[in-house]
Amino acid sequence: MRVGRAVALALGRAGFDVAIAYHRSARAARVVVRRLRALGARGVAFRADLADPAAARRLVAQTRRALGGLDVLVNNAARFERTPFATTTEAAFDRHLDLNLRAAFFCSQAAARVMRGRGGWIVNIGDAGAHRAWPSYIPYTLSKAALPALTRSLAAALRPHRIRVNCVAPGAVLRPPGFPLARWKRVTRGRVSRVDEVTGAVVSFATCAPSVTGRVRSVG
């Protein structure tokens, strides 16, 4: 949730009202909401398993009711688990694609229905590392590597409705659990991406949206 939390707070500081989605950590979500309100933003949190398309639709509807509109969607929800090739199960494979890729599609579909006629912005959070060979994280890298293609297709589909779609694909932000430090340094070439670099890109897109009224949903 680290990147999602940072994105939500950065948008709050930029003057947006923010709704965040959480699945398990209600306590962490409440902390983010309190910090948003301390910034002077309206902050709300909703529990949602975004691997379920119906939950994505409910979340957008709840956000619209709570904040009075929806101008920016940030697709950040993701699963990141070690899945060695020889032992990866169908369930583990599906869990990654359902949350990392399918959720982005159906959240975008639901948000676009609200944004049509008003304009808006959709930002997908990808991963530059997904284009490298990570044999113990194949479902994760597959799902994240597909996000740029999804972004391009959504951008073409939604352009007539003044809804712009972009993908922010940072380098490594956190070392994967169990990933050897020595190899991690080689993968990242000694440098990891800073969270503020990710939030800066998202806020830059959000503040250039064609019709921004201060309503935003950030999926954390």
Domains (range + CATH), the chain:
2-219 (3.40.50.720)
- Does residue 212 surpass a pLDDT of 50? no
Q: What is the DSSP string of the chain?
A: -HHHHHHHHHHHHTT-EEEEEESS-HHHHHHHHHHHHHTT--EEEEE--TTSHHHHHHHHHHHHHHHS---EEEE-------B-GGG--HHHHHHHHIIIIIHHHHHHHHHHHHHTTT-EEEEEE--GGGGS--TTBHHHHHHHHTHHHHHHHHHHHHGGGTEEEEEE--S--SPPTT--HHHHHHHHTT----HHHHHHHHHHHHTT-SS--SEEEEE-
- Global pTM reads 0.85
Specify whether 185 is catalytic. Answer: no
pLDDT score of 187: 53
> Of 22, 140, 144, 185, which is the active-site residue?
144
> Of 22, 137, 140, 185, which is the active-site residue?
137
Percent of the chain whose pLDDT exceeds 90: 66
pLDDT in tens, 41-77: 999 999 999 999 999 999 999 999 999 999 999 999 9
pLDDT in tens, 82-100: 999 999 999 999 999 999 9
